[in-house]
Structure 1
Amino acid sequence: MVKQAGFVNTTDAPITLALTLTATGENGAAAPADMFTLGATSVTVPAGARAEVPVTFNVGVSAPRGDYTAVITATAGNGTTVQVTVGATKTMPTHKLTVNLIGRDGAPAAPNSEIDVFDLDTGSYFNAFTVHDGIATLAVPSGRYSVMAFIDTLDAGGYHLSDETMGGSPEMAITGDVTVTIDARQGQEVRFETPEESEPIGYKLGYMRQASNGLAIINIQGKGTQIWDHVYVIPTAPVTVGYFEPIISERRYAPVIRASFDAREDRDDRDGRHGRPGASIPLEPVVNALRLDGHRKLTAVAIGAGRPEDVAGRRDIAGKLAVITRDRDLKYADQIATAASAGAAAAVIVNDMPGAFLAVLPGPISLTGTAIPAYTLNQDDGRTLLDRIAAGRTVINLHGVAVSPFVYNAVYATPGQILASPVVKVTRDNSAIFDTVYHGAKGTLVGDTQPWYRWYTNISANIVNWFPAQTRRQEWYSTGNVGLPLRDVTWMQKAFVVSTNIFYNYTDSLRVYNPGDRGTETWLGAGSGPASPGAAYATRDGDTLTLNIQDFSDSGEGHVGFLGARGDSVSTKVYRNGQQIAQGTRILSNSPIATTPEEAIYRVTLDTKQAYWSPLATSVSTAWTFKSARTDSRQALSLLWPRYDFGTDRANTVRGDRTHHFGLDLVSQAGANIGNMRGVEISVSDDDGATWRPATIKAKQDGYTVKVTNPDTGFVSLRIKAWDANGNQVDQTLIRAYAVR
């Protein structure tokens, strides 16, 4: 490839220029010496004229693909210089890669099905989405590639996603134009087998693919509603280049509803003209509707579209299962309310079109948004139900679970390949199991997510699962019986306290479990103050202090929150020998504090106020006093933290108008210079700190027992001062430590 470099002489005498060339790549490194060549080492430019010199870009020179720059320096006899820049891009011949995606229904994949093409040698990444024909084309150079796809299949109505399939070839050579067909019908359903019957609310599906040079792509996708509960993978051969890890996860709960025709009542339909006797009915709960808890046997009655005129004067609806036909002119809430007004015990809305049917009631998140339990049913099964009702008495067995007593957190990964039989067996032997309680006021909701991480991930998107406060359940962690060991997955749970704003959440420390681990966990319990060791640290390295003390915590070790929403305030100050040396809304590890080498007395204060997280710990003031001098290495600072065990119930309350005993411990970081405790003083208040009275303290082997007299109702606040023989001290005022009932 040849281009001309031009030089113009505006003087009235010819000028001879000596020419040199320097070439670099896009990273600034020198290009191969023969990549650019000049047609001459000098040029004479006539007076008032232009002269050109050919510059050749030698495309055959062995060099990486990319942009290259040549700078030609022209020097006149008097030392004057001028530079001309020439650029070129080295590319490789490309081939047409056609990827044809077929859905599980045999039709072209749904629009926006995704295709990843990844060069296993260079780490170059190409991405495409299908439009309407399931086909995408890309131009790629020769090489070794991973070609993977996420194939979406729409339901019969062409509106909702019915299932998703991941598959392709994680390792293939491309040396010319080629068509790759990825057929979702070859996929195998990923099945999670659990000790108790369970169902997912969505899933995560994806993979990590690493090239031979260490570069990698990670594509993990999530779906988060109850109608997306089928996921498939297409088996592959083991890879020989780089690293490949397909990964699927689900959070599985007790089924919200199970329904079936009552076989003993089917004497009039033994030939199955209107559905097999005892057959199941695939109901889906209406989102935000009241949930049935327990067993009911109800006679089904059809009430048309559920308009007021459809039920007027009818006496056959009370105590029955009202079956409603969907009407686009009516709101689901109104149809359900009409059935409830007629005395129905529950309602089912039958779809008026093919495909899945997800009904969501507007408004805030709720588990009691209707007067009666309500469900949806697809058109085909709905017709069967309506035909049976028309033929005679139809009895339906319902079994509902309002709050799941368990959650299975299951991750399935098979490094190297996608296996032909993707079955995950979750058992007690291959699981960690924790008995977990969520405190809070009765009638309120709390939520949680359970993000998991692998060595190659550092972010995780999750859907919050909401359930009633005061729930107690078993939480399982498992990677099943094949593939990745449980110890190779890291977990970090979050608990949410305000259903209208997910900013209000507590985050757990990162945790690793092993099969057979057992334990208990409490979330949102009374005792909220600054985070303590296990989630916080305070260190000195040389003449630098580092404070990582999160604003807020609950009674569970490792649980922390960050104030900053409406009505919250945080103030942190650091003093050395009584002089302030730092302040801010919060001082964390990304804001180290410079200090002086000599030993000094330090005081760190952290004051917080909040009004929306909890009715407890509305104002907390903590001050740590300790001595410190220059260190040769990173060392823990000698801070004391109070840790309380108030002995509350799940509503964070204790009985009023009586003597109450609670536990107190003083904890510190490992390696801190803590001496024997010399004193502890505690005062209590029944009026949010307006007046105080002393409490009785008794030392025991592992801490202290505090004796107080609770008021009849309201809240109890605490003020504590504790110090040791080395001069370390903590002062804390905790307004509304716990509630009294």
Structure 2
Amino acid sequence: MTTAAAASAGAAIGDVVTLITGDRVQLPPAGQALAPRIQPRRAWPPVSFTSYVEDGDWHVVPSDAAALLASGAVDERLFNVSELAEQGDGDAVSGTPGRTLGAHQEPELYDLTVSMRDRAGRPAAEPASATVVDLVSGRVDFIGPGNPTLRLPPSRYSVTATVPEPSSPTAEWASSLVALPELRLDRDREVVLDARETSRVLTTVDDRRATDGSIIAATVVDIEQDDWPVTTWVGAEPRFSALYAGSVAGVESAAFGFYVRSTLEQPLLELTALDPGLQVPAVWESEPLRLDGEHELPVVYAGAGRPDDLADVEVAGALVVLRLPGEVPWDDVHERIRGIADAGGRAVLLTAPPTGPARSAAAADSVLDDNPFALPTMSGFGSPAQRFADRAQAGPLTASLTSRPASDVRFDLAYPAERSIPADLQVAERRRDLAAMRASYHGGANTGRHYVDARFDAGGYDMELGWDSPVMSPSERLEYFSPGSWTLYARDWLWWGAEQRIELRRRQAEQPIAWNRPVAGPGFGGSRIDGTDRPPVSWADGLLEVEIPLYSDGDGRARLQAPGSIEGIDDGTTRLYRDGLLIGASDLPGLGGFDVPERSGVYRLTVENRRPPDLTPWWPTSTRISADWTFRLDESPAAPPLLAVRYSPRVGLGNVAPGGRRGVSIPLVVERQRGAPAHRLTHVAVDVSYDDGASWRPARVSGAGDRRTLRLDHPGHGFVSLRARIRDAAGNTVEQTIIRAYEVG
């Protein structure tokens, strides 16, 4: 496989890069109409983001960096996430500073001066910033309080400002989003974006449990000469922060859109000082080690947590509060918490996350996080965390701690608007007016968390939060949605997972949906992970591109594998032969790009993949997958006529089928590539193994066409492996083997 082809295969599933600000960005697959997914580096204080495409590259600019860009203090290439992905995650941009965003030589220029004011009428201070978008060319510029004037060519522009607001008794953090939907720049102009023209963005529901979650307000600006809009959004967490939005009165634009997108759930972590009833915004620093459940704990103050700080403090059974000085390295934090654990401490609260060198063995972005702290450890934020520490230092203090691995309920709500920002942005929803879904999240005892998100189709752009929230498996819960078109998304420990598009109606009767049901195996049905209907094996610029989802679920949703070179989990190969000769190989299972200058011939495509049980104890099934396809191609641009076999055994939430039963019916579906010629099936045979493929015996298959029924005898307990051999009337074949396809017991 060529270098270009290898890059194409990796980009197909979305690279993840970390900005210098610490925010993580997952790029959409190349050429697909999806925006980057953004995981902010912190929960508090909220940060806004602007995302846009320039010269074919995605840029993501956090609000706390926009003013630095406006002043020229930092290089814009540090936020070119496409370029960073090509260089490698976290690579520094070297060389001389790049051009100023949107800088061009123009024969005619005018001054655009933007003044920003907060809700008290005061001039906005950093990190306030304004994003200026040329509605014709898509050029993007940034303005900060210290650099309020841009020199721009005549055109039509849209301006969106994000303004931090002072804290209040009801909101530790607050932000305003103020927009001028359209401005014609044909002379020097001065613009005032005044947050006093905004109103509160607030969504509530008639479920007292759902007080936490996320809410964002976003402007979406369409560009005449580009298919990609420019999006600026700011987020808030309902319990501790407030969000305001508004646009300049009387100004509208056909190119301007706005939306509010919110998810409401139970708080995952609640920390409250019982006297005087002070709530602290906090997050767990290490997910594998939480103190779940409801607890009432004594609280003690232990300074910086050094041995001399602990000498006169009784930490046994207590929540221990630490104030860490300056840039304490994470490895030192590990040592101090280990000392508290040795002294019998129950949990630790850091009054702020350490800002020193990152953890060496327990990097915060590790997907496995296999070196957690010695005790459940939280980081608190803002002045509430400092007041909590002051109260603990004054002593004595008792705190209530409630921690949940996931919420028992979820509300996904979306409110799009066009031309300007509505004046009334407060909505009180009732469950009976929403669409309800009973969601089942399947998995074994060690599966743990899934992560879910949803995108709302606003008729031209997707409204999404950009980050996801956890749900335990196995579990079942009610989920509520605004009526409309949604794309639901669920993943496990990876950055990508399965998607399903669904149309929901207001007051719709409760509808079931199940995730992660077996059998996980190769699949050609459903939409791709990138949201398109392009076939998994297809032609592109002289290449035969292969992106076969090897772990599509039993309901036909595509799910990609995680090769070792990408996420360090799956191990395997992909090989392509023509007329018996090897023409290309890839060490990425099910992924590759192969140069095929002459299409006509008889092809053989083989894929092998192994998911080592010692690395993935939460994944007990589909541990080895292989497929061997033969197919004939001519010069037609049609997709190759590949076949795949999908099984859907009846299982419980734990993904275990009843054991000790004879003649169990298993639905079998033969899937075909979209856009490929479909030929009548002439042979469908399945073998079954109960000893992980050491021995095989024929299974009974009945029915006709692409849908058949497999009949098996289940042992009392163990695993069922399946091997299928399919042939169609044109001679296309597949032999597909799945070891430990599903569990019985």
Short-chain TM bin: 0.5 to 0.7
CA distance in 1, matches of 2:374, 2:447: 15
Task: Count residues with an aligned counterpart.
Answer: 603
Q: 1:113-167, CA deviations, whole angstroms, 9 ceiling, x for partnerless residues?
A: 44233455x556451231xx444201245665433223345889xxxx9444321
- Residue type of the partner of 1:398? L
1:497 aligns with 2:511: no
1:190 aligns with 2:201: yes
CA distance in 1, matches of 2:206, 2:597: 52
- Residue type of the partner of 1:146? S
Aligned 8 A contact 2:410 2:480 in 1: yes
Deviation at 1:647, TM superposition (A): 3.7
CA distance in 2, matches of 1:457, 1:554: 28
Deviation at 1:255, TM superposition (A): 0.5
Q: 2:724 aligns with which of 708, 711, 720?
A: 720
CA distance in 2, matches of 1:716, 1:163: 55
Q: 1:614-635, CA deviations, whole angstroms, 9 ceiling, x for partnerless residues?
A: 554344344567899999xx99
Aligned to 2:149: 137
CA distance in 2, matches of 1:212, 1:506: 33
Between structure 1 and structure 2, the one with the greater Rg is 1
Q: 1:683 aligns with which of 658, 683, 687?
A: 687
Deviation at 1:188, TM superposition (A): 2.8
Aligned to 1:554: 553
CA distance in 2, matches of 1:547, 1:138: 45
The answer for unaligned runs of 5 or more in structure 2 is 1-103, 528-532
Deviation at 1:703, TM superposition (A): 3.8
Q: 1:127 aligns with which of 118, 135, 141?
A: 141
Q: 1:645-683, CA deviations, whole angstroms, 9 ceiling, x for partnerless residues?
A: 2344555455778768351322445997665x7765332
Aligned to 2:572: 569
Normalised by the size of structure 1, how large is the TM-score? 0.65
CA distance in 2, matches of 1:694, 1:251: 49
1:403 aligns with 2:406: yes
Deviation at 1:350, TM superposition (A): 3.8
Q: 1:513-556, CA deviations, whole angstroms, 9 ceiling, x for partnerless residues?
A: 44437544444443222213334759999xx9999872412323
- Residue type of the partner of 2:280? P
Please give the residue correspondences for 1:73-112 in structure 2 after superposition, counting only pairs within 5 Å: 93-103=108-118, 108-111=123-126
CA distance in 1, matches of 2:223, 2:628: 52
Aligned to 2:738: 734
1:147 aligns with 2:156: no
Q: 1:677-705, CA deviations, whole angstroms, 9 ceiling, x for partnerless residues?
A: 77653322344433222345566997424
Between 189-198 and 305-314, report the one with greater CA deviation.
305-314
Deviation at 1:97, TM superposition (A): 1.9
Aligned to 1:41: none
Aligned to 1:40: none
Deviation at 1:435, TM superposition (A): 0.4
Residues 306 and 689 (structure 1), Cα distance of their counterparts in 2 relative to 1, 3 Å cut: same
Q: 1:171 aligns with which of 182, 190, 197?
A: 182
1:661 aligns with 2:657: no
Aligned to 1:234: 246
Q: 1:643 aligns with which of 643, 646, 655?
A: 646
Residues 90 and 246 (structure 1), Cα distance of their counterparts in 2 relative to 1, 3 Å cut: same
Q: 1:169-203, CA deviations, whole angstroms, 9 ceiling, x for partnerless residues?
A: 21345554333222335433322223444466666
CA distance in 1, matches of 2:727, 2:139: 60
Q: 1:506 aligns with which of 479, 497, 522?
A: 497
Secondary structure in structure 2 of the residue aligned to 1:646: coil
1:610 aligns with 2:610: yes
Q: 1:201-248, CA deviations, whole angstroms, 9 ceiling, x for partnerless residues?
A: 666543223478898851234769999954331244465543310124
Aligned to 2:349: 348
Aligned 8 A contact 1:111 1:129 in 2: no
CA distance in 2, matches of 1:604, 1:249: 47
1:253 aligns with 2:244: no
Aligned 8 A contact 2:178 2:246 in 1: yes
Q: 1:693 aligns with which of 697, 714, 719?
A: 697
Residues 238 and 303 (structure 1), Cα distance of their counterparts in 2 relative to 1, 3 Å cut: same
- Residue type of the partner of 1:720? A
CA distance in 2, matches of 1:312, 1:538: 63
Residues 637 and 116 (structure 1), Cα distance of their counterparts in 2 relative to 1, 3 Å cut: closer
CA distance in 2, matches of 1:359, 1:284: 20
Aligned to 1:707: 712
Please give the residue correspondences for 1:329-348 in structure 2 after superposition, counting only pairs within 5 Å: 331-348=332-349
Deviation at 1:287, TM superposition (A): 2.2
- Residue type of the partner of 2:162? F
Please give the residue correspondences for 1:409-558 in structure 2 after superposition, counting only pairs within 5 Å: 409-428=412-431, 429-431=433-435, 433-439=437-443, 442=446, 445-451=449-455, 454-457=458-461, 462-463=466-467, 465=469, 469-478=473-482, 486-487=484-485, 490-491=486-487, 493=489, 495-498=491-494, 502=495, 505-508=496-499, 510-515=501-506, 516=508, 518-535=510-527, 550-552=548-550, 553-558=552-557
Aligned to 1:80: none
Residues 367 and 206 (structure 1), Cα distance of their counterparts in 2 relative to 1, 3 Å cut: farther
CA distance in 2, matches of 1:124, 1:446: 37
Residues 111 and 551 (structure 1), Cα distance of their counterparts in 2 relative to 1, 3 Å cut: same
CA distance in 1, matches of 2:225, 2:319: 63
Aligned 8 A contact 2:216 2:233 in 1: yes
CA distance in 2, matches of 1:213, 1:628: 39
Aligned 8 A contact 1:350 1:376 in 2: yes
Between 441-450 and 688-697, report the one with greater CA deviation.
441-450
Residues 105 and 569 (structure 1), Cα distance of their counterparts in 2 relative to 1, 3 Å cut: farther
CA distance in 1, matches of 2:462, 2:596: 24
Deviation at 1:418, TM superposition (A): 0.7
Residues 684 and 135 (structure 1), Cα distance of their counterparts in 2 relative to 1, 3 Å cut: same
CA distance in 2, matches of 1:323, 1:711: 52
CA distance in 2, matches of 1:397, 1:97: 53
Q: 2:279 aligns with which of 275, 281, 295?
A: 281
Secondary structure in structure 1 of the residue aligned to 2:721: strand
- Residue type of the partner of 2:526? G
Normalised by the size of structure 2, how large is the TM-score? 0.65
CA distance in 2, matches of 1:294, 1:424: 32
CA distance in 2, matches of 1:590, 1:704: 36
Aligned 8 A contact 2:218 2:233 in 1: yes
CA distance in 1, matches of 2:370, 2:404: 12
Aligned 8 A contact 1:292 1:402 in 2: no
Aligned 8 A contact 2:554 2:647 in 1: yes
